[in-house]
Structure 1
Amino acid sequence: MGAARALRAVVWGLLLPLMSAREGILHVFKNDDPQLTKQYCIYYNSDWTSLPDTLDNIAYLKLEFLTPKLLCSQADVPHADVIKDKAIVVMRGNCTFIEKAEIAQQLGAKMLLIASDTAIHEPHGNKTQSLTIPIALVRNYDIIDLKQTLGKDVNVTLYSPPVPNFDYSMVIIFLIAVVCVILGGYWSGMSELEKLKSVSSSGSSSTLSDIEHVTLTPLTAVLFVCVSCIMLVLMYYFYQWLVYVVISIFCVGSAMSLFSCLSALVSKIPYGRCRFPCWNQCIEVRLFFLALCCVATSVVWGVFRNEDRWAWILQDILGISFCVNLIQTLKLPNFKSCVILLGLLLVYDVFFVFITPFITKSGQSIMVEVATGPSEDSEKNDGNLVEASAERSAPHEKLPVVMKVPRLMFSAVMLCRMPFSMLGYGDIVLPGLLVAYCHRFDVQTSSSRVYFISSAIAYAVGMLVTFLGLSLMKMAQPALLYLVPCTLISCTLVALYRKEMKKFWNGNNYQVMDPMDFPANEENAARANEQHEGQ
């Protein structure tokens, strides 16, 4: 249940981080060597400043370094001629961005760069119409790097290249999601087939308990959604503490899931089968080393989880195993349970994404707030960001419940942060439970996997529709809004066409059948009787 709670702590629909017009590029070149250029990240307010898309036919300004001055009064500039018709850079703090910009414009500056030692974000404030110069926030260590690499005799300009609507990382996310659903559903069906064979050959239902499963009945499905709602609200209000609980649960659950997935493959290797005693049990050498590797993978991710450049690879490996194992472990006994669970979670997603912005003070949805984590906000003074600390803020913790793939494009956002395309585990596991049920039903009824194949195709179509909705609406979309109708309608149509709707709705619960009801057991019993009569 801990892994399930972690799963639904947030269902981050398919949220591709779309860049707004608040991230741009500071382009710099050295006066005596125009070929020597560098680019740095800047943040700006699109309501204050309009930046060009490219460097074509763009004007450059000589940069004047006024740091460490704050420019909160004209006394910080001894002579107005020093900054006239130039771009200037000053330190952040003591007064608002608007006050700094008004002083700079009065003294004749044509561009204002504000260097910050804290996290940089889009500037806010009530800008007057008379204020016309561009205003941008830049990291102070970028300014230091600029002076060290290019010197102080440089020209600068600002621009903001557009972000393409389509990125190839979306293809990778699509493949990860579809492969997870297919593998989990296939594994669940194969486990069902093995159990049926065991019952048929042994004549006893005791072997059914050999493999642990968690069955979600209609009642437990309703309770599951209620717990998810409570957990999401608690995460919203107590994120700074509960995020570490979720990270801990993910580390343990993903390590166990990775071991469960890989042990099924390692068992096929004909080496390392020797055993050694441990805690009154005998453990195979190969499984022991596999367990160490799985734990090590989880621990390494836990320690370096904020290293965006490569930690996402480990998170995706652990996430794939987590999703596949959960799809195989959680069982929906019938289509009725599937409809109840997915229907309620669809309402849950829509409510927390689209309705809660009208309730929260920030105007942001609870789902988005929890999924992205608290913003690295600095102090605010009358709507204008001012310096809160001289130290750089540490990266805030994120919930490890999403598949992450770096976006494969160039734009200002690449300089400012590592942008990711993301898909929540819930958007993989929850429809995957329906696909797994379809495969088990195929196995139980010998349906030649028609339900499994059709539901897997429906899931892929639902993902494509989600991409389309995201591209058209340019905003976060709850993926279940598209995945649930696609998968449920597809399964319903197949069941109606095959005239198996009643059986599909109620499930083919072989667990309640007497083992002697199976044909193989009846044949074995008949043979035993013949042998007994012959004797």
Structure 2
Amino acid sequence: MADSETVAEKVSQVLTDFVNETIGEKENITAKEPSTPEGQAVAYVSLVVMALVPIFYGSFRSVKYQDKQKESGEKPETITRSDAARFPIVASGLLFGIYVFFQVFPKEYINILIGIYFLVLGIFATVHVLRPLIVSCIPATFPNSSYHIQLTEGEDAGKEEWLNQKFDRRDLVAVAVCAAILVWYALQKSFVQNEACNQHWITNNVLGLAFAINGVELLQLSSIGTGCILLSGFFFYDIFWVFGTNVMSSVAKNFNAPIKVVFPQDFLIRGIFGKNFAMLGLGDIVIPGIFIALLPRFDISLKRNKHTYFYSGFIAYILGLIMTMVVVIVSQHPQPALLYLVPACLGVPLLTALVKGDLNTMLKYSDVPETEEKKSD
């Protein structure tokens, strides 16, 4: 009974603090070690590069992924308009729930559970991304052999398939390599208090980039209109949770999982053992990324053998991200990246379409027939 009362008191105090911070009764103080202009430049340029890789690579993987689905006769799984409208609300509830958990319960235990979850999920994500590279490094003399695992329930007409997976020994090598990366990450994270082991941010970035590439590739929008709804919703979501309260910054600092890419601003002084990190959330990569990944599919539908709209969106993302970094450096305060990325990623492709006379075609474009999308909604 006493434990229940203690938890209830903690939750009540957290909610009170949250309201006070939101209305401005408590100052949001972020103490960081000073960094040199050169160190900041290296860190933010590195973040920009790490953000561009999953968007560029994931966008063209997205095209191939959808082509494979169509060839196999599968119905493409896409984000519909109702999904896009709900996402910012669901994300807000999840973000605040995590914040409350960190305030009420010891973060060490929460991070252990989170670490186990991401350890398993990370193996699948990294294998999906790194398998082609790992397999290409395996010599032709490697004694390869194929395997087929099949798990069904019932017999004859009532048989239900649970698992049907084909793989070979090269796939097992890829799994082993990716598992080793994950184990390294877990061990480094466990000893993060030891300065000599503070380089686990490297494996954090490997996992974060793998998650981002998978997100851009597999989370496919159904239409340009759906993308506008999704990005507009997250535009206001990011502004509120960054400027309205310290919830997002608090979760980003305490949530010890590869949900962001980071780079030490004191890299020029301490190398990989740097401690003063600049960071970029994976949401600031994946959310605009899945919209940009829709643009090369639109380019293909025009049958002009050009990627005009993809490159317009890609360049717009670069400019928006650079603007974000500049404002962060000048203001010395965390910024909602989507405040700058959403107008750029939506505005430039739409303006390009208006100039080229493709605006009506772009707004009507959809990967999914309208009747199917309405059924999904």
> How far 1:486 sits from its partner (Å)?
0.7
TM-score between the two structures when normalised by the length of structure 2: 0.74
Whole-Å separation in 2 of the counterparts to 1:488 and 1:470:
22
Q: 1:398-451: CA deviations, max 9, x gaps?
A: 24311122224578x99x971112111011111100110101111222241111
Describe the shift of the 1:230–1:510 C-alpha distance in structure 2 as closer, same or farther (beyond 3 A). Answer: closer
Aligned residue number for residue 224 of structure 1: 87
> What SS does structure 2 have at the residue aligned with 1:509?
coil
Note if contact 1:247-1:400 (Cα within 8 Å) is conserved in structure 2. Answer: no
After superposition, the C-alpha distances for 1:55-99 in whole angstroms (9 at most, x for unaligned) are xxxxxxxxxxxxxxxxxxxxxxxxxxxxxxxxxxxxxxxxxxxxx
Q: Does 1:482 align with 2:340?
A: yes
How far apart, CA to CA, are the structure 2 residues paired with 1:163 and 1:309?
Answer: 20
8 A Cα contact 2:205 2:258, kept in partner: no
Distance in 2 between residues matched to 1:313 and 1:232, nearest whole Å? 25
- Equivalent residue, structure 2, for 1:98: none
For residues 374-407 of structure 1, what are the alpha-carbon distances to aligned partners after superposition, in whole Å with 9 as ceiling and x for unaligned?
xxxxxxxxxxxxxxxxxxxxxxx62431112222
Measure, in 2, the Cα distance between the counterparts of 1:243 and 1:503.
47
State whether structure 2 residue 184 is matched by structure 1 residue 300. Answer: yes
Looking at structure 1, the residues matched to 207 and 316 of structure 2 have their Cα atoms a distance apart, in angstroms, of 26
1:468 has 2:326 as partner: yes
| Aligned partner of residue 398 in structure 1, secondary structure | coil
2:285 aligns with one of 424, 428, 449: 428
Give matches, 1:498-517, under 5 Å: 498-509=356-367
Following superposition, the deviation at residue 327 of structure 1 comes to 0.5
Number of paired residues? 315
Q: Which SS does the other structure have where 1:309 is aligned? A: helix
- Cα deviation per residue 1:302-334 (whole Å; 9 max; x = unaligned)? 232253532111111111111011100000111
Q: Secondary structure at the match of 1:423?
A: strand
Post-superposition CA distance 1:223-261 (Å, at most 9, x none): 221111111111111123654444333222222111111
**Structure 1: which 5+ residue stretches go unaligned?**
1-17, 24-160, 199-205, 357-364, 374-396, 514-535
1:175 aligns with 2:46: no
**Residue 247 and residue 463 in structure 1: after superposition, are their counterparts in 2 closer, same or farther (change >3 A)?**
same
2:37 partner SS: coil
Percent identity, aligned pairs only, is: 27
Q: What corresponds to 1:92 in structure 2?
A: none
The residue number in structure 1 matching 2:97 is 234
Amino acid at match of 2:85: V
The aligned runs of 1:383-398 (5 Å cut-off) are 398=256
Give the structure with the larger helix fraction: 2
Q: Does 2:294 match 1:437?
A: yes
Q: Partner of 1:493 in structure 2?
A: 351
More strand by share: 1
Which 5+ residue runs of structure 2 have no aligned equivalent?
A: 1-28, 152-164, 372-377
Query: Contact 1:301/1:315 (CA < 8 Å) preserved in 2?
Result: yes
Q: Is 2:120 aligned against 1:252?
A: yes
Classify the secondary structure of the residue corresponding to 2:279: strand
Give, in whole Å, the separation in 2 of the partners of 1:220 and 1:263: 31
Task: Verify: 1:207 aligned to 2:80, yes or no.
Answer: no
Task: State the match for 1:372 in structure 2.
Answer: 253
Mapped partners of 1:235, 1:425: distance in 2: 16
Instruction: Give 1:506 shift.
Output: 3.0
Distance 1:344-1:246 versus aligned 2 partners, 3 A rule: farther
Distance of 1:261 and 1:340 partners within structure 2: 29
Q: In 2, are the aligned partners of 1:438 and 1:455 still within 8 Å (CA)?
A: yes
Distance in 2, Cα, partners of 1:289 & 1:500: 47
Residue 232 of structure 2 is aligned to residue 343 of structure 1:
yes
Q: Displaced runs of 4+ in structure 1, greater than 4 A? A: 193-196, 241-245, 265-273, 277-282, 510-513
What CA distance in whole angstroms lies between the structure 1 residues aligned with 2:232 and 2:54? 22
Which whole-Å CA distance do the structure 1 matches of 2:35 and 2:351 have between them? 43
* Aligned-partner Cα distance in 2 for 1:431–1:443: 20
1:353, CA displacement in angstroms?
Answer: 1.1
Residue identity matched to 1:283: F
Taking the aligned partners of 2:167 and 2:65, their CA distance within structure 1 comes to 23
Instruction: Kindly indicate whether the alpha-carbon contact (under 8 Å) linking 2:242 and 2:249 is maintained by their aligned counterparts in 1.
Output: yes
Quote how far apart the aligned CAs of 1:192 are: 3.7
Q: Give 1:497 deviation, angstroms.
A: 2.1
Q: CA deviation at 1:190?
A: 3.2
Distance 1:225-1:267 versus aligned 2 partners, 3 A rule = same
Contact 1:188–1:439 (CA under 8 A) maintained in structure 2: no
Q: Any idea what SS the aligned residue of 2:261 has?
A: strand
Q: 1:503, CA displacement in angstroms?
A: 2.7
Deviations 1:273-324 (A, max 9, x none): 4214556655311001211222232233123225353211111111111101
The aligned amino acid for 1:250 is F
Q: 1:172 Cα shift?
A: 1.1
Q: Is the 8 A contact 1:332 1:433 kept in 2?
A: yes
TM-score by length of 1: 0.54
Residue type at the aligned position of 1:294: C
Helix, strand or coil: the match of 2:189? coil
2:55 and 2:213 in contact (8 A); partners too: yes
Q: Which amino acid is 1:481 matched to?
A: L
Per-residue deviation, 1:370: 1.2
Residue equivalent to 1:185? 59
Contact 1:350 1:478 (8 Å CA) reproduced:
yes
Question: For the Cα contact (< 8 Å) 2:316–2:344, is it kept in 1?
Answer: yes
In structure 2, relative to structure 1, the CA distance for the partners of 1:273 and 1:493 (3 Å cut) is farther
1:148 is matched with: none
- The SS at the match of 2:280 is strand
8 Å CA contact 1:327–1:436 kept in 2: the answer is yes
CA deviation vs aligned residue, 1:203-231 (integer Å, no higher than 9, x gap): xxx5235xxx6411111112221111111
**Which letter does structure 2 place at the counterpart of 1:290?**
A
SS at match of 1:208: coil
Note if contact 1:459-1:483 (Cα within 8 Å) is conserved in structure 2.
yes
Q: Which position in structure 2 is the counterpart of 1:316?
A: 205
Of the candidates 132, 145, 166, which is equivalent to residue 274 of structure 1?
Answer: 145
